[in-house]
Structure 1
Amino acid sequence: MKKLVLAAALTAAASTAFAGNMQEPVMEAPVVVEETTASSSAAGVWIPLTILAIVVAAIAADS
């Protein structure tokens, strides 16, 4: 009789652990990081070289 009561108690305790519906897991949206490409050092040289060429052309035309 004691084993029957013990089995009933364990069954009742175990069944409450699985009460309710299975829900789908909540998935968070993935974080997207957009990397900016670093411009090469040569790209920053074109503007000063162009200005230098204009100044040199103006000085040569003035002579």
Structure 2
Amino acid sequence: MKKIALAAAVSVAATAGFAGNMAPPVMEPEVIVQDTSSSAGGIIVPILALILLAAVIAD
């Protein structure tokens, strides 16, 4: 019975040695979120609206 207990203890201790491997860890690439704000869209639309309004009034 002691041999079985000793064999079980050795097998448990041996499996802990193989817990890791030599391969480098694979890291997921970090996602970078860039806030984009364009003020050009807010300026161009009213200017085009004024040009169209001026063209309608001029006719």
**What is the TM-score normalised by the length of structure 1?**
0.49
Secondary structure of 2:51's counterpart equals helix
**What is the TM-score normalised by the length of structure 2?**
0.51
For structure 2, the residue ranges without an aligned partner over 5 or more in a row are none
For structure 1, the residue ranges without an aligned partner over 5 or more in a row are none
Aligned residues: 56
- Percent identity over the alignment is 40
Query: 2 CA distance for matches of 1:42 and 1:28?
Result: 37
Partner of 1:36 in structure 2? 36
Larger Rg over CA atoms: 1
Query: How much has 1:51 moved relative to structure 2?
Result: 1.8
Higher percent of residues as helix: 2
Query: 2 CA distance for matches of 1:22 and 1:36?
Result: 42
